[in-house]
Structure 1
Amino acid sequence: MSLDPTAIETLRGISTATLTTILLKKGLRNVWLRGTHPLKPGQGRLVGPAFTLRFVPAREDLATPASWASPISTRAAIEAMPEGAIAVADAMGTTDAGIFGDILCARMQQRKVTALVTDGVLRDLEGCLDTGLPIFCQGAAAPPSVAGLTFVAWQEPIACGGVAVFPDDVIVVDNDGAVVIPQALLDQVLAEAPEQERMEAWIMNEVMNGAALPGLYPMNAETKARYEASKKG
Structure 2
Amino acid sequence: MSNDATIIETLSGVTTATITTILLKKGLRNVWMRGPRPLRADQPRLVGRAFTLRFVPAREDLATPESWSSPTSTRAAIEAMPEGCIAVVDAMGVTDAGIFGDILCARMAKRGVAALVTDGVVRDLSGVLGTGLPVWCQGAAAPPSVAGLTFVGWQQPIACGGVAVFSDDIVVADADGAVLIPAALVETVLELAPEQERFEGWIMDEVNRGAALPGLYPPNAENKARYEASKG
Q: Which moved more, 1:124-133 or 1:35-44?
A: 35-44
* 2:72 is equivalent to residue 58 of structure 1: no
- The residue aligned with 2:97 is 97
Q: Cα RMSD (Å) of the superposition?
A: 0.8
Q: Is the 8 A contact 1:14 1:193 kept in 2?
A: yes
Q: Secondary structure at the match of 2:152?
A: strand
Residue 29 of structure 1 deviates from its aligned partner by 0.2
Gaps of 5+ in 1: none
Counterparts of 2:56 and 2:7, CA distance in 1: 33
Q: Secondary structure at the match of 2:231?
A: helix
Q: Secondary structure at the match of 1:212?
A: coil
Residue 3 of structure 1 deviates from its aligned partner by 4.6
Counterparts of 2:171 and 2:21, CA distance in 1: 15
- The residue aligned with 1:46 is 46
Counterparts of 2:127 and 2:224, CA distance in 1: 51
Q: Is the 8 A contact 1:37 1:177 kept in 2?
A: yes
Q: Is the 8 A contact 1:82 1:111 kept in 2?
A: yes
Q: Deviations over 1:21-73 (max 9, x none)?
A: 00000000000011110001121000000000000000000000000000000
Q: Secondary structure at the match of 1:44?
A: coil
Letter in 1 for 2:200: E
Counterparts of 2:153 and 2:29, CA distance in 1: 27
- The residue aligned with 1:190 is 190
Counterparts of 1:117 and 1:11, CA distance in 2: 17
* 2:37 is equivalent to residue 21 of structure 1: no
Counterparts of 1:48 and 1:150, CA distance in 2: 26
Structure 1: which 4+ aligned runs deviate by more than 6 Å? none
Counterparts of 1:156 and 1:131, CA distance in 2: 27
- The residue aligned with 1:133 is 133
* 2:82 is equivalent to residue 82 of structure 1: yes
Residue 4 of structure 1 deviates from its aligned partner by 2.3
- The residue aligned with 1:117 is 117
Counterparts of 2:5 and 2:117, CA distance in 1: 21
TM-score after normalising by structure 2: 0.99
TM-score after normalising by structure 1: 0.98
Counterparts of 1:107 and 1:55, CA distance in 2: 20
Q: Secondary structure at the match of 1:140?
A: coil
Q: Which moved more, 1:34-43 or 1:16-25?
A: 34-43
Gaps of 5+ in 2: none
Letter in 1 for 2:95: T
Q: Is the 8 A contact 1:3 1:49 kept in 2?
A: no
Residue 118 of structure 1 deviates from its aligned partner by 0.2
- The residue aligned with 1:36 is 36
Counterparts of 1:25 and 1:91, CA distance in 2: 30
Q: Secondary structure at the match of 1:152?
A: strand
Counterparts of 1:100 and 1:3, CA distance in 2: 30
Q: Secondary structure at the match of 1:129?
A: helix
Q: Is the 8 A contact 1:3 1:48 kept in 2?
A: no
Q: Deviations over 1:142-164 (max 9, x none)?
A: 00000000000100000000000
Aligned residues: 231
Counterparts of 1:72 and 1:204, CA distance in 2: 50
Counterparts of 2:3 and 2:52, CA distance in 1: 16
Q: Which moved more, 1:35-44 or 1:151-160?
A: 35-44
Counterparts of 1:74 and 1:43, CA distance in 2: 25
Counterparts of 1:141 and 1:61, CA distance in 2: 23
Counterparts of 2:3 and 2:152, CA distance in 1: 27
Counterparts of 1:64 and 1:220, CA distance in 2: 62
